[in-house]
Amino acid sequence: MKISLKIVALLATAGLLLVGCAPAGASGHASTQDASCKGADIPLTELDTLADPKDYVGESTACMPYSGVLPVAEDVTPDLPATVIDNQDTEVTVTDTSRILALDIYGSLAATVFGLGLGDSVVGRDTSTGFPEAADLPLVTQNGHELNGEAILDLQPTVIITDSSIGPWDVILQMRESGIPVVVVTPERTVDNSEEVIMAVANALGVPEEGRALVERTTTEIEKVVAEVQQIIPADVADRPRIMFFYVRGNAGIYYIFGEGSGADSLITALGGVDVATEIGWKGMRPMTAEAIVDAAPDVLLMMTKGLESADGVDGLLERVPAIAETPAGQHRRIVDMSDYEIMSFGPRTAAVAEALARAIYAPEQSGPQQ
């Protein structure tokens, strides 16, 4: 389930993902990341789940009790130099990891570096990297996900880990020409490929042992959550919620459906839902059509919190996109939102994201931030 590089590059360059959502300082993250969550002390399988998740009326917010990244080890010493063949078949040798930049469209690469125990060496961040440990780092992106070459060079990175989801690519080439080792990893982000991404980063930074430990922890956590979700979803597939990931920037008139290969499809499957975008043949990330929304007939819409806010909440969304009002999700106001910095942050936080979403979908009265 690969993300369409052409589509992702277009979104990143145009600044359509997370536009205007990342403030310069950490204060903009506090409301989401410092919030305590209802029902956080109750195991997923012991929640008072809905008998029929299709019938529930009302919106809900997915909440992670801790949105940071715990390292698998402290005082990590990379084994350098490390030479790797990256995702573009380029041989790259890394000799210094004292000043790391990890940049991608979902913030998963920075989370991986922190998970490996090298967070203290990270010197900057992209727009999507908003977890607490990285929130104070200087931004090297502007206008959404547009890399700023001058900002990158000012930080004097000794290695850059990135992928083809963020650009413009000329900036990446400029960094290579300036002598900075640039390791390009796969842009694919799914629930299932955490091992590939983690090990690519770990090998490039000379910490394969920590990489294997992070893979084991991440895989175990994901498998545990997926197994628990299977225990709380309706036994009959026909009774399981039909879910669509809907990306919105209301002020800019941007409305996208995320379908097969977007990464959202694997997340919805892990949540025990029916991915209706894939069901109607929707591939990648594409501008919505009213016909597609009505044909898909979702029971639940997954959205980024600031995206929903940009449409003036559920009422504003139903007014701006009348087709949604014709679906079960619209009629039941079944919108599940989650922080822009979390909902698609595949990698070390995948399990926590999936669990938070599962709680909001199947036990909405026992989930969400404390009021």
Query: In Å, what is the CA distance from 274 to each residue of 129, 167, 239, 342?
Result: 29, 33, 10, 21
Torsion sign over Cα 228, 340, 127, 8: positive
Q: Which residue has the tokens 């059509």?
A: 289
The pLDDT, as a whole number, for residue 12 is 45
Give 45's DSSP letter.
G
Do residues 5 and 184 make contact, with C-beta atoms less than 8 angstroms apart? no
- Per-residue pLDDT tens over the stretch 54-69: 999 999 999 999 989 9
For the chain, residues with pLDDT lower than 70 are 1-35
> Where do we find the tokens 């109750």?
42
Query: Could you tell me the sign of the dihedral formed by the alpha carbons of 11, 12, 17, 20, in that order?
Result: negative
State the Cα–Cα distance between residues 117 and 122, nearest whole angstrom.
10
Q: In this predicted structure, what is the pLDDT of residue 6?
A: 40
Write the burial class of residue 40 (CB in 10 Å: 0-12 exposed, 13-18 middle, 19+ buried): middle
What is the DSSP secondary structure assignment for residue 145, as one 8-state letter?
T
User: DSSP string covering 326-339, please?
Assistant: TSHHHHTT-EEEE-
State the DSSP code for 51: S
Are 183 and 160 within 8 A, CB to CB?
Answer: yes
Pull the structure tokens for residue 97.
């990891």
Structural domains of the chain in order of their starting residue, each with its CATH number: 5-68+225-366 (3.40.50.1980), 82-216 (3.40.50.1980)
Owner of token pair 């991915």: 275
Output the CA–CA distances (angstroms, integers) from residue 173 to 168, 183, 327, 358, 363, in the order listed. 9, 11, 46, 41, 48
pTM: 0.90
What are φ and ψ of residue 336, in 5° steps? -110, 115
Q: pLDDT at position 199, please? A: 98
Predicted confidence at residue 251, as pLDDT, reads 84
CA atoms of 107 and 104, how far apart (whole Å): 6
